[in-house]
Structure 1
Amino acid sequence: MKLSEIKEILLTLDNVEFQLENGSFVPEHFHVTEVGQIVKNFIDCGGVLRNEKVTNFQLWNADDYEHRLKPGKLLHIIQLSEEKLGIEDSEIEVEYQSETIGKYDLDFNGQNFVLKNKTTACLAQEACGISSEKQKKNLSELSVNSTSGCTPGSGCC
């Protein structure tokens, strides 16, 4: 989700709620402690120079149980960060602490913002010898290894 998208959505909401992909919710007394832009300059394993910019939100839970961040307040924080920091309309990355600080992509399910799990990937698959296309085989082409010992009744399972 891009910064412009969250701003449009915030105009339609009464409350701001963040939900993890597993269905659990960020406690409703969370704070957005940071809004910023992170620039990452790096080289991938294939030797290609890369540049990535994301808008970063950091969510934090305090013992401030009466605190509720309203959509207008979050929109104001975003607009202030755009004005003061020159933040561009880039993809949003959310930092949220569970066991450790996790980084999540952001989505919206029509009611709540959803913290989507991020995964790693090889950006230079050809240089690493990784096929970008999965091999397709028919089951009839697979050979059965009768010496594996794992046959019905063999006790391997």
Structure 2
Amino acid sequence: MHCELCGSVITGPSAKRVRIEGAELEVCGQCAKYGVEVQQPKKPALKRNVPGAKATPVVHHRRDAFDMMDGEIVDDYGERIRKARAARGMSQKDLALAVKEKEMLIKKIEKGDLIPEDDVRKKIEKELLIRLVDSPEDPIEKRRADQVKTTFGDLISIKRQP
């Protein structure tokens, strides 16, 4: 699990639920000082679907915001969109109609004033056949890993005499 405020990895029971500026977040011990701790419910909800069966706790798995991210959006996303749109001979209005969004939204995204939300970003990528996200696994790094050959030195460890 990741801290929803700073992004650091939280291990063990050190996660705290706090209210910061009206939002409830799961944070690490260091970030807990920025908000007011919210009390967790003591009893889990029970599932009672089958008559005669024992009630079992319902487990709700929260999705972490960091788990939903495909990668980070590139810094020059506006420039990439503008170039790809121009290469296809489309105006901003044509692109807006194609992705079913407002023209003003496309203008702001191209200027770099607005970072596109995931659904809009995916529609633009699909329409213009471009990638706006740096994937966590870089294909160049993957290619280099495939080119490395295993040697005998990788397989054995040499013990030195004192």
Same fold (TM over 0.5): no
TM-score under structure 2 length normalisation: 0.22
Higher strand share: 1
Instruction: Provide TM-score, normalisation by structure 1.
Output: 0.22
- Radius of gyration: which is bigger? 2
Judging by fraction of residues, say which structure has more helix: 2
